[in-house]
Amino acid sequence: MKRARHLWLIILMMLVVGLTGMITKVEAAYPVSTDPMRVKQTYLDMIHIDQAWAAAGDSRTPIVVAVVDTGVDLVHPDLVGNLVDGVNLLQPSKKPQDDNGHGTNVAGIIAATFNNDKGIAGIAPNAKIMPIKALEADGTGGEAKLGEGIKYAVDHGAKIVVLSLGLNKYSDYMEGIVQYAEERNVLLVAAVGNESTSVKYPAAYPTVLAVGGVNSERLADPRSNFGPELDLVAPWDVYTTALGGGYQYQDGSSMSAPQVAAAAALVWGKYPSMNVYQVRAQLEQTAEDLSSGGWDSRTGYGLLRADLALTKPYSEDYFEPNENMNQAAILPVHTAVKAVLSSAQDQDWYAIDAAYDGFIKLWLNSADSSGVRVRFDSGETFIANSTSDGSQPFTVPVTKGRTYVQLQTVDRSRKTALNYSMRTDFVIYKDPFEDNDKQYKAFVLPDRSQSIRGTFHQKGDLDWFAISLKNSGTMRIRLSVDTGRIDPMILFQKEGEKSITIDQAGDGGIEVSSQMDLLPGQYYIRVSNMKDYSEPITGEYTLEIEYTPKLIDPNEPNDKSYQATFAAMNSVYEGVFNKSDDVDWFEFRMSKDGLAQVRLTNIPTSRILYATLYDSSLKEQGIYRNDYGTDQFFIEKTLPAGTYYIKLQANQWFMSQMYRLKVGSYALVSGFADIDGHWAKDAISQLTEQGVISGYGNYRFAPNQPITRAEAATVLTRALKLSKRQELRFNDMDASHWAYDYVAKAVQANIVDGYPDGTFGPDRTLTRMEMTQMLARSMNMTGKKRGSSPFSDVNDTYWGVGILKQMSADGWISGYSDGTFRPDEQATRAEFVTLLAKVMNR
């Protein structure tokens, strides 16, 4: 037993030793950072750096990463061991020492010394930093030094160049530098910028990896620039090395880009035979898609995954499967890709989203003589092969939105794979105001406030507009753009006079003129971009013109009562208030006693207009005003015959629109202003004086308005002085209705009743037949059966024909001149009152 126990102990010790050896080996192959501030580098966990380091294993192929920036802190304890010689392009006799801090921030993210018991861990332990100082101490710089820095890095052994900076300006020079790096197998990685606008250059060039930023929630930071050139996103917030040997938190796409550059260094360290396109494609195809449909303008191909970039096999065609339109791979409108058609049966479908109307340019290169057929969903088809001129693009007009492109081999019997490379670009539409690049070609605009949208669709595009003002007025011009690549400028000029320039806001800003006082004449507006672009600009500008004519008051001078403008009845008079103490007087005359009505309309809603009414001795008769926010008010007052004055005054002057004044007078008949001369005047007056009927207030009887069933029952009850009533059981009328008692008395007297569905319909309009029946019942008429119908539109089957026969025969009713009665038409208040008066006077 003892020997057995000893044997198990020996075996156990051997296992422990073996496991210890395995653990030791694992730690050597899969390192974990022990740097004391690693815990603050939470962004590294988002890109899964521990797994990436494990996947990198013992591969330590050194990769030189050039940081073209403000320089690097050359004595920082966490960087000093990972620096190679660089250059100071601003002062060549000096070292590229950082005097801003930005370059040191970038360098630490990439290559802070790994596991040195100091500070933080750089992403790429195999990276060596080449500091290139191309920016001033304030972080600014121009494209000349930027281009020089990139070329220096390429020529002195850098494999990767990181550019945490950007310009809004495209240039042939910089595009040439970018191409120079690409041809020499050097990867350029650049930040997109932090202004919530278009991707900056050089990130915007197709072969540069454009990197934006995401927050801790893996959402695109709203400040991160975006657009069709965006490739990847990485964490926005970092903890990194700082100038002076310290450490600090920093944020921005400037901190996102070096993470991608460092991941590229790890990839190239493990797979040194990869070319620049493959490294770029490997990072894109292994990114974690943050949207539901592949590439998008806010997050590109997705979030950097350093672990997957080192573990996932490289694919020559990572867009597969994309064999049909439903599987189409989404591509940015500015991109360069390589893929494979595996056979004649293989099809590659791509979807390209255009933010504007315009043209897609597509370059396709194929090494095969049979070539590739390119078909757009619009039906346009092209063939590219080894004999084609690959420098010439296919150009296809597209509308805003999605365009589909299908690629397949021309040789339909092909068995072998066919490699191809494709590049796309976009040219925005030509605006409808072209050709207006010269002043004499200026597009003529109407003389009013307006908003127009235009583009700079070609190099050196200038847009001229002309506006001819017939009246003096004020004008303000506002020019806005939807991209940071436009630095808008306005030139404004009156014909024959010196021009003025409005250019204050800078890239992507808004230019606004002061409010200008203008006299009648011809004016020119030129809209331009301050930058000298070699290509059309993908973006739109909006020109807003606020023009307020200074209207002339035709009634002036009328500032005193003795200067009052005579206002004829029912005529319209217009006016403005051209100063704060301006007063407008008007005079009108009432030829007889009656109702005066003063209507004031078209008042600016931001003004209050006061109207004071005076009699001929200038004794005040009332003060009236509009409510704030309303554009009109009315005055109605009964006045005896005579002369009257109206004084108008505003709480603040206005000249942008004219108020309108209209005075009317109406004779009052029985207290109503709308029955004088009406055919039913006598009947309305009689019943009004007897208290049978009343109007609607405001001196209105509304004789031609339809009468409701409740109103008719009420009038009949009053006219017949009915007193007995019964409780109503109509399901649409209870005791709270205003006419309940009147209807109850009319029902008791059997003058009215309800409908078969149990309703009375108190607010329904009364028909001519119902009116006739009510009045017939009030006279105890039941109708007659003998004789023919007296009206051509009423036959013997009509339910009320008996009543109509009797009422017509007795002379109570008559029809229209065409022989009809129109029983189902609405009865008016005038018709009902006239017939009722006739009944009462029998």
Report whether the peptide linkage leading into residue 435 is cis, meaning its omega lies within 30 degrees of zero: yes
The whole-angstrom separation of Cα 333 and Cα 244 is 43
CATH fold for domain 43-311:
Rossmann fold (3.40.50)
Distances (CA, A) of 779 to 135, 185, 710, 797, 821: 106, 110, 19, 24, 21
Burial string for 648-679 (b: 16+ CB within 10 Å, else e) reads bbbeeebbbbbbebbbbbbebbbbbbbbeebe
Residues of the chain with CATH 3.40.50.200: 43-311
Q: How does DSSP classify residue 441?
A: G
The whole-angstrom separation of Cα 159 and Cα 153 is 8
Instruction: Please identify, in words, the CATH class of the domain defined by 325-428.
Output: mainly beta
Phi-psi region of 679 (alpha: psi -120 to 50; beta: other; left: phi over 0): alpha
Burial string for 340-378 (b: 16+ CB within 10 Å, else e) reads bbbebebbbbbbbbbbbebbbbbbbbbebebbbbbbbbe
pTM of the model: 0.65
User: Sheet of 443-445: strands edge to edge?
Assistant: 443-445, 463-469, 521-529, 488-494, 500-502
Q: Is 793 a catalytic residue?
A: no
The whole-angstrom separation of Cα 673 and Cα 186 is 92
Residue showing tokens 């029985």: 670
Which one from 164, 171, 254, 297 is the annotated catalytic residue?
254
SS3 66: strand
Q: Angle formed by the axes of helices 768-778 and 829-840, to 10°?
A: 20
Query: Tokens for 634?
Result: 């009315």
Residue showing tokens 């069709």: 228
> What is the pLDDT at residue 137?
87
List the beta bridge partners of residue 486: none
Closest listed residue to residue 300, CA positions, set 337, 322, 338, 330: 330
> What is the pLDDT at residue 390?
57
User: Under CATH, which number does the domain 439-549 receive?
Assistant: 2.60.120.380
Which one from 69, 221, 447, 582 is the annotated catalytic residue?
69
CA 617 remoteness from chain centre = 60
Residue showing tokens 């089957």: 797
> What is the pLDDT at residue 16?
35
Q: How does DSSP classify residue 194?
A: S
Burial class (CB in 10 A: 0-12, 13-18, 19+), 180: middle
Strands 418-428, 358-366: pairing is: antiparallel
> What is the pLDDT at residue 371?
82
> What is the pLDDT at residue 387?
57
Residue showing tokens 């009927």: 693
Query: Tokens for 353?
Result: 């989203």
The whole-angstrom separation of Cα 703 and Cα 682 is 12
Closest listed residue to residue 185, CA positions, set 314, 63, 70, 53: 63
User: Under CATH, which number does the domain 561-666 receive?
Assistant: 2.60.120.380
269 touches 326 (CB < 8 A): no
Strand boundaries in 82-198, DSSP class E: 87-88, 127-133, 160-163, 187-191
Which one from 102, 171, 297, 513 is the annotated catalytic residue?
102
Query: Tokens for 338?
Result: 């390589």
The whole-angstrom separation of Cα 430 and Cα 437 is 12
Q: What is the pLDDT of residues 661-677, one digit of tens each?
A: 999 999 999 999 999 99
Encoded amino acid at 236, one letter: W
> Per-residue DSSP letters for 698-723?
TT---TTSBPBHHHHHHHHHHHHT--
The whole-angstrom separation of Cα 819 and Cα 808 is 12
Sign of CA dihedral 202, 207, 208, 211: positive
Q: Phi, psi (5° rounding) for residue 657?
A: -155, 160
Residue 487 CB: number of other CB atoms within 10 A?
19
Q: Is 254 a catalytic residue?
A: yes
Encoded amino acid at 113, one letter: T
Residues of the chain with CATH 2.60.120.380: 325-428, 439-549, 561-666
pLDDT along the chain (842 residues), means of 10: 38 36 35 90 95 84 94 96 95 95 96 93 95 90 91 96 86 92 96 92 93 94 93 96 95 96 95 94 93 85 95 89 90 88 90 93 81 89 71 88 92 85 91 94 94 92 94 91 89 94 81 90 93 74 92 91 96 92 96 94 96 96 95 95 97 89 93 92 93 90 95 94 93 94 95 94 95 93 88 93 92 92 95 93 85
> What is the pLDDT at residue 532?
58
Our separate counts of H helices and E strands in the chain read: 15, 37
Q: Is 559 a catalytic residue?
A: no
List the beta bridge partners of residue 543: 452, 479
